[in-house]
Amino acid sequence: MPSAILADPTLLASLPAHQWAEGAVEAVKAAFVAGGTRATQLAARLTALNGPVADLDELAELLGVAVELKLHTIADDPTERGPAVALHYGHTFARAIETLTDGTISHGRAVATGMRAAAGTAERLGLITRAERQQHDELIRHIGLSPVDLRTIPSEHLLRLMTNDPKARIVRPVRGIPLVLIDRIGHAYVSPESGLPVTAVPEAVAAAALGGLHPQVRTGELP
């Protein structure tokens, strides 16, 4: 573990505007899985990182919140092979989206879409309510990144890639897509089977969540 984390707000203030939203996605993601009872308030504050922050003191405070959230998660698991795998929230969907679009979709947009799909999955499994999922998605919308149009990607291709995600090692031999889910905003769901925040989700449930993002998601044949 590092003994210190240094971030220069003046340097960060020079970033292009679109890069701010990319960073905001990661900060809000940490609030969703590790913010606890303050998660909604923290996530709402961190959406302010979706654009340049002129007040450097305010920027430093927001960065401190984001760093504290991640440190809290990885303190006892710096390699993210145990409980800190919760920080992969949204990433199973995101990796597949990035692969199938040849890297033309930014990581932030892919993760934002992946988090919405993961929340939709959690709702379908009864882990969160519809109201919680809507609140979750509204916070993501505040970041301002345009959603990925999944109509251009056959869902079968996404599902195949997700089945072979690196997190599959945690849930096997149980069959399913390895997803980090939440059971409330601010808390990653710990699977009884794995004892870790990764759940083997039936393909049909993940496919329904993808369809819920856009009712006309393609479902072509696998090659």
Query: Is 223 within the bounds of a domain?
Result: no
Q: What is the pTM of this model?
A: 0.91
CATH number at residue 157: 1.20.1090.10
Q: What sign does the dihedral 114-96-206-89 (CA atoms) show?
A: negative
Query: Is 218 within the bounds of a domain?
Result: no
Cβ-proximal residues to 108 (8 Å cutoff; 6+ apart), any chain:
21, 22, 23, 24, 25, 26, 145
Query: Is 2 within the bounds of a domain?
Result: no
Query: Is 26 within the bounds of a domain?
Result: yes
Query: Is 222 within the bounds of a domain?
Result: no
Query: Is 149 within the bounds of a domain?
Result: yes
Cβ-proximal residues to 162 (8 Å cutoff; 6+ apart), any chain:
92, 93, 95, 96, 177, 178, 179, 206
Query: Which residues span the domain enclosing 82?
Result: 9-213
Q: What is the pLDDT along the chain (223 residues), one digit of tens a residue?
A: 667 778 788 888 788 888 999 999 999 999 999 999 999 999 999 999 999 888 888 988 998 899 899 888 888 888 888 899 999 999 999 999 999 999 899 999 999 999 999 999 999 999 999 999 999 999 999 999 988 988 888 888 999 999 999 999 898 887 899 999 999 999 999 999 889 999 999 999 999 999 888 754 444 433 3
Domain count, the chain: 1
Query: Is 182 within the bounds of a domain?
Result: yes
Query: Is 195 within the bounds of a domain?
Result: yes
